[in-house]
Amino acid sequence: MEQRLMHIVSNIGKHILGTLQTAFRRIFVAGLLVALIVAVGVEATSVFLSGGKFPPDGTTHLAAAALAVAFGYAVAVTVAIEEILRGIVKSIELIVQETEKLAGEAIGEVEKLGGAALREAGSLERGAVGAVEGAIGGAGREFRSVEQGIASHLPGHHPDASRTNS
């Protein structure tokens, strides 16, 4: 049972580490891609609006960098939240799946042990009933023996007379 629990914890740990690795990769790629698209878009827009003046001035580069960082960060955080929620849902599904397997194994063990316990209880019951019946029968015989012994010492009491009087 302990080995099964360790296996479950190990599987969950592997799943979490794999999810984190995938999440960091997606966060990095999404943030960088959006930052590049925004920077190129701002630079291209500046060239188009200035009537074809290339390269744009320093304020355009500063605005492009600021917008690229802001949008890249926003997308990276959004992807991170999505990956965290996705990882939580998958972890819960894995835990439920492993718990169902563990519960099935536990039910099988209980059924196996329960059947053995019922068979053992039945044999104990039969043995106990036989012992009680034997004790009651022995006590009854002992009681009759004592009664006859006392009655034989009473004056005017004969064992044959008690049988005929009853």
Query: Using one digit for the tens of pLDDT, what is the confidence trace for 65-124?
Result: 999 999 999 999 999 999 888 888 888 888 888 788 878 887 877 777 776 666 676 666
Give residue 166's pLDDT. 47
CA distance 52 to 88: 50
CA distance 117 to 49: 88
CA distance 1 to 60: 65
- Per-residue pLDDT band at 161 (split at 50, 70, 90): low
Give residue 42's pLDDT. 95
Q: Which of these ranges, 21-25, 53-57, 125-129, has the smallest mean pLDDT?
A: 125-129
Task: Supply the Cα-derived Rg of the chain in whole angstroms.
Answer: 45
Pull the structure tokens for residue 126. 């039969």
Q: Is the pLDDT higher at 102 or at 56?
A: 56
Torsion of CA 23, 27, 29, 30, to 10 degrees: 130
CA distance 105 to 153: 72
Helices 58-153 and 2-49: crossing angle in degrees, nearest 10, is 160
The counts of H helices and E strands in the chain are 3, 0
**Total-model pTM:** 0.58
Give residue 130's pLDDT. 63
Give residue 154's pLDDT. 63
The domain limits of the chain are: 2-119
**Per-residue pLDDT tens over the stretch 86-103:** 888 888 888 888 788 878
What DSSP state is assigned to residue 49? Answer: H
What burial letters (b/e) apply to 47-62, b meaning 16+ CB within 10 Å?
Answer: eeeeeeeeebeeebee
Give residue 26's pLDDT. 94
CA distance 19 to 94: 13
Look at the chain and count its residues: 166
